[in-house]
A and B are shown apart, each in its own frame.
Chain A
Amino acid sequence: MKKVNYSILVLLPVIGFTFVLLTSFGEYGTRPSSGSVPQEKFTIPEGINSILDKSCFGCHNSESTNDKAKEKLLIDKLPDLSKAKLVAKLDGIAETIGKNEMPPEKFLAKYPDKALTKEEAEQLKEWAENTSEELMK
């Protein structure tokens, strides 16, 4: 009989604590995100994401079988990089796109629909440059 009492005594604060935790989280979510918590995580805007998806991600992702492409850039791993590395990678993207080196010609011969339009290339380059500038501020 005594044992049962004990277990309830132990459980009560645990339940109470869990309740407080859960409710406080709920409140957190409904609070407007007005800057007090800095959004540090690196995110790619929707428009850019669709361009990357079309022309780049096929080779530059961690599951890719193209080792050379993986060495140079892993788009899905960008958010895990330090800011210093992110700047380097974004600058590499801007440079490569600026020089019209990607996607490779051989690849485009096979998949002409994966080519970047002039506008897309410009958008991508601008995004990479601006984001890298922003990070260095």
Chain B
Amino acid sequence: MKKVIRILLLVLVAIFIIIQFIPNGKPSNQPSPGKDLFEITEIPQEVGLLLKNACYDCHSQKVKFPWYSNVAPVSWLVTRDIKEGREHLDLSKWGDFSKKDKLKALDKIGEEVSKENMPMKIYTVMHAEARLTKAERDIVVKWAEDFAEKVFEE
């Protein structure tokens, strides 16, 4: 019995080591100057902090990668989430958005944040600063609404 457990453990460790060598195309940060939301828009400090803490690790080209994001299989999850996140909304490309794209994005932000779909639960497990309180959610939602009005008037 002991032998079986030992073999099993060895196999697991071997698998763990082997999967580290599977290339997974971890996304890199490729910011284009002058396009990021923060570079071209004045954002209230309070809101800015929430966006950076709760959104920017997937929805931007300014992702902060923690050490464990280099270790498979976590790296696979991180890769998938960042790729998908950027596909839906990349705030580092705000400058390339049409007026319509901006209005749509802001509407979505309000929706996802107020319904607590975002930030994703799996992300907030490791990122306490991204766990938004109800009041903080309201701040983001209100900002998205007000900002949409401004964009609309532009």
Contacts and interface: CB of A to CB of B under 8 A. Distances in A.
B115 interface: yes
Q: In the complex, which of the residues A83, A85, A89, A92 has the most CB atoms of chain B within 10 Å of its own CB atom?
A: A85
B148 A88 contact: yes
Contacts of A87: 100, 103-104, 152
Ranked nearest first, the 7 interchain pairs of A and B with the lowest CB-CB distance are A88-B107, A84-B152, A84-B148, A88-B103, A88-B104, A87-B103, A84-B149
Interface string A62-90: 00000000011000000000111101110
Interface string B39-73: 00000000000000000000000000000000000
A120 interface: no
Nearest to A129: B100
Interface of B: 99-100, 103-104, 106-108, 111, 115, 145, 148-149, 151-152
Contacts of B104: 87-88, 91-92
Nearest to B153: A84
B140 to A, nearest CB: 16
30 contacts: A71-B111, A71-B115, A72-B111, A82-B148, A82-B152, A83-B152, A84-B103, A84-B145, A84-B148, A84-B149, A84-B151, A84-B152, A85-B103, A85-B107, A85-B148, A87-B100, A87-B103, A87-B104, A88-B100, A88-B103, A88-B104, A88-B106, A88-B107, A89-B107, A91-B103, A91-B104, A92-B104, A132-B100, A136-B100, A136-B152
A60 to B, nearest CB: 14
**Majority secondary structure, B binding face:** helix
B154 to A, nearest CB: 10
A89 B115 CA distance: 17
Contacts of A132: 100
B149 A82 contact: yes
Contacts of B115: 71
Contacts of B100: 87-88, 91, 132, 136
Contacts of A89: 107
A83 B106 CA distance: 13
Q: In the complex, which of the residues B99, B104, B149, B151 has the most CB atoms of chain A within 10 Å of its own CB atom?
A: B104
A84 to B, nearest CB: 4
A92 to B, nearest CB: 7
Given A82-B148, A88-B104, A91-B104, A136 B99 contact: yes
A71 B151 CA distance: 23
